[in-house]
Structure 1
């Protein structure tokens, strides 16, 4: 996967991060960055998240003390029999105020936290919408919390009757669970549980929709870039495997390609997407090259980096596995004659990989004269731009075909550079 230009880790993560602790946030990040191998796994994750969305009213007020949560987790993770089940523990708890206070506060903190999580959320969750496999995770969490007899101990704590024997009972129970590795299993399951709550909250907050996972068809209705405050929404359907996007500078080509690619990527990891409706195939590889710079560390020039990236995509596409790739302003790192010639070769060649989908944006208007474009083998789209009193007004609307507006020349002339450059200065 080549997705760094989509800023998944830096920006898209924030759309789904409603977590209350670092472990859950790291899990959301892991789910966002880890590709899924099969369509079945995509649909499974969709169903899990939909299960949380069905229960979303339950989690609207989901909260707990972050300090208590972290301290309880550290206590369970670092629990050791030699430290907590030492010889003569009962006597030490009776005669050492410091040890009694320490052990009691740890147990009370655990009971009160678990009681809140269990009674407010886990016991009330409706499991019917979840896939059977994930229901097992919910049962694991429920069984673990149930085993602590939370209502019984919580009542003792509130009535100030939680004594030494109860502390020892809790310590012994934790010891057993530690040896059986139940604590690790619970913490892993609950961290994932909270990550899914967070993702569901993000999807509801931003009104994303789950795509239909199709065979080859890509169709996006009213899709948009989710990081824009007031995005222009477009609709698009791919009936060709090679699509050329044209349009002047500042018309929004890069943003459009990012918006489409974010939908494709999120759909392929089982997340909902920023659109009103979507049909998206399962792709084995996704490569997005938009913010391309010279690779100085590897010693590659801008143009050589483009060549290497294209070669990787072609080799992957040659395996007959479906590939999605985006090349923004392909071959802008070389002169216009070379760029035109090899762009034509590239566009023609990409037609051979029918299972894949390629987006290529370009300033080279001459490409529209290609036979493959004229006969419709390669689809062309452009972002519209109107002229108002010789001033470009960008609509950011995607339309089939291509634009003949030459923004560079218009702006050049509007700023009076023709006159300035022709003016003769005399030396004083």
Structure 2
């Protein structure tokens, strides 16, 4: 399977991971896990988007099934942590012979120890987890073709076949005496240890999937339709930015016959937000996750690369413009390989003068339009760039509209076909009273 190509710049642009638990990020938005290891598993999933349509489809269908099942998956974090702690104890359990059990019963009665507490609680927590999962799987329809659930249920079934665990499950008034505790400790930490560890791995993955299902309900996300078509395409209805409450929605139609989607609009019209919204939807779709849109159809891509929030690199002495040039060079190297990628540039060459930015943008975008195995999204507020590209048949021109209402700009944030002629730089300068302030001091 080909690894999905996504780099650190793109992860930062899309705010996939925050630098701390409280920072806004895509991962934190989805992280409604019950357990620490469930969150770790979810993060691992986030780091590895898929390119195999079968794996994507299976994960997507499983999460959607868990969502529609509406089962209350709510493991106790403290209990799961204690199970891990209990299983990791260094003192390996001894074979519970009759003599050993008798000795332990007497010593535990005379002088209860911390070790006794750990064993008693650890055994109880593991057995309670098996009971909880057994009840959960009784409610799940295992006739559904989900290999993940079937493999997890197989391990659970094998554990329940252990005669000692069976005795616990079948008894209504089971008492965990010191003698029985020695047996169960040996069975759980020795005989069945590998199976229990395997079961916990599945529990954490299930925790991650339920977290995604909970997020889908909370934010009204929908599951995309994924295709393996050779010709790349993206169709999205009702796309919104997942971080914005009551966000304006947009429709996106993007196909290989016009492999460059070109967006014009003034600063503050919402170009960056729209580009991030599209990229996030594509990223989530390749995780097998639901997306912030009413409907979505997309082909499989082998990578996603964005350049939205690039900055100066003063420590290495690079200017903003030189960093932009280096980024274009990096992207050129990526797409020179036989990869189907989605490439997004917000405001090409904003770090140089308008003339150079204009000429460089026209050249680069014309070159992009000839690379048919990739799709490109490019935005600019330099209208002349769009005018010079207007005759290129491979470019789909769109714009975000700005209207002046009562002398103030009004942003619809709706994407429309064509090229905008809107300009707003001088209005901002005048509205801030900069010219008035300068003119008042002109004759001092």
Check whether TM > 0.5: yes
Check the 8 A contact 1:51/1:127 in 2, yes or no: no
Residue of 54, 77, 95 corresponding to 1:40: 54
Question: What's the counterpart of residue 218 of structure 1?
Answer: 234
1:376-395 map, 5 Å? 376-395=393-412
Instruction: Compute the displacement of 1:280 (Å).
Output: 1.3
1:238-287, CA deviations, whole angstroms, 9 ceiling, x for partnerless residues? 13211221111111111111001101111112111110001112111111
Distance 1:320 1:54, change over 3 A: same
1:232-243 map, 5 Å? 232-239=248-255, 240-243=258-261
Question: What's the counterpart of residue 88 of structure 1?
Answer: 100
Check the 8 A contact 1:8/1:33 in 2, yes or no: no
Question: What's the counterpart of residue 163 of structure 1?
Answer: 177
- Distance in 1, Cα, partners of 2:198 & 2:91: 17
Instruction: Compute the displacement of 1:152 (Å).
Output: 4.0
Question: What's the counterpart of residue 69 of structure 1?
Answer: 80
Which deviates more from structure 2 when the two are superposed, residues 8-17 or residues 380-389?
Answer: 8-17
Question: What's the counterpart of residue 313 of structure 1?
Answer: 331
Question: What's the counterpart of residue 418 of structure 2?
Answer: 401
| Secondary structure of residue in 2 paired with 1:153 | helix
Instruction: Compute the displacement of 1:140 (Å).
Output: 2.0
Check the 8 A contact 1:203/1:272 in 2, yes or no: yes
Question: What's the counterpart of residue 123 of structure 2?
Answer: 107
CA RMSD of aligned residues (A): 2.5
Which deviates more from structure 2 when the two are superposed, residues 414-423 or residues 397-406?
Answer: 414-423
1:98-137 map, 5 Å? 98-99=112-113, 100-119=116-135, 121-132=136-147, 134-137=149-152
- Distance in 2, Cα, partners of 1:102 & 1:278: 51
Check the 8 A contact 1:373/1:379 in 2, yes or no: no
Instruction: Compute the displacement of 1:151 (Å).
Output: 7.0
Aligned length: 420
Instruction: Compute the displacement of 1:117 (Å).
Output: 3.5
Which deviates more from structure 2 when the two are superposed, residues 107-116 or residues 324-333?
Answer: 107-116
- Distance in 2, Cα, partners of 1:407 & 1:426: 28
Check the 8 A contact 1:6/1:258 in 2, yes or no: yes
1:25 aligned onto 2:64: no
Question: What's the counterpart of residue 275 of structure 1?
Answer: 293
Check the 8 A contact 2:51/2:286 in 1, yes or no: no
Instruction: Compute the displacement of 1:149 (Å).
Output: 5.6
| Secondary structure of residue in 1 paired with 2:352 | coil
Distance 1:419 1:63, change over 3 A: closer
- Distance in 2, Cα, partners of 1:164 & 1:140: 27
Question: What's the counterpart of residue 280 of structure 2?
Answer: 262
- Distance in 2, Cα, partners of 1:270 & 1:102: 40
Check the 8 A contact 2:27/2:46 in 1, yes or no: yes
Gaps of 5+ in 1: none
- Distance in 1, Cα, partners of 2:322 & 2:363: 17
Instruction: Compute the displacement of 1:192 (Å).
Output: 0.8
Check the 8 A contact 1:48/1:130 in 2, yes or no: no
Which deviates more from structure 2 when the two are superposed, residues 223-232 or residues 405-414?
Answer: 405-414
Residue of 199, 203, 208 corresponding to 2:221: 208
- Distance in 2, Cα, partners of 1:141 & 1:161: 22
1:174-199, CA deviations, whole angstroms, 9 ceiling, x for partnerless residues? 244356x2232122111111111111
| Secondary structure of residue in 1 paired with 2:244 | coil
Runs of 4+ in 1 over 6 A off after TM superposition: 83-87
- Distance in 2, Cα, partners of 1:263 & 1:332: 26
Question: What's the counterpart of residue 153 of structure 1?
Answer: 168
1:327 aligned onto 2:335: no
| Secondary structure of residue in 1 paired with 2:88 | helix
Question: What's the counterpart of residue 231 of structure 1?
Answer: 247
1:279-318 map, 5 Å? 279-318=297-336
Check the 8 A contact 1:127/1:135 in 2, yes or no: yes
| Secondary structure of residue in 2 paired with 1:332 | coil
Check the 8 A contact 2:35/2:75 in 1, yes or no: no
- Distance in 2, Cα, partners of 1:328 & 1:13: 23
Check the 8 A contact 1:148/1:170 in 2, yes or no: no
Instruction: Compute the displacement of 1:161 (Å).
Output: 3.1
Distance 1:68 1:218, change over 3 A: same
Check the 8 A contact 1:218/1:237 in 2, yes or no: yes
Distance 1:413 1:297, change over 3 A: closer
Question: What's the counterpart of residue 144 of structure 1?
Answer: 159
1:345 aligned onto 2:345: no
Instruction: Compute the displacement of 1:207 (Å).
Output: 2.0
Distance 1:273 1:147, change over 3 A: farther
| Secondary structure of residue in 1 paired with 2:17 | helix
Distance 1:64 1:377, change over 3 A: closer
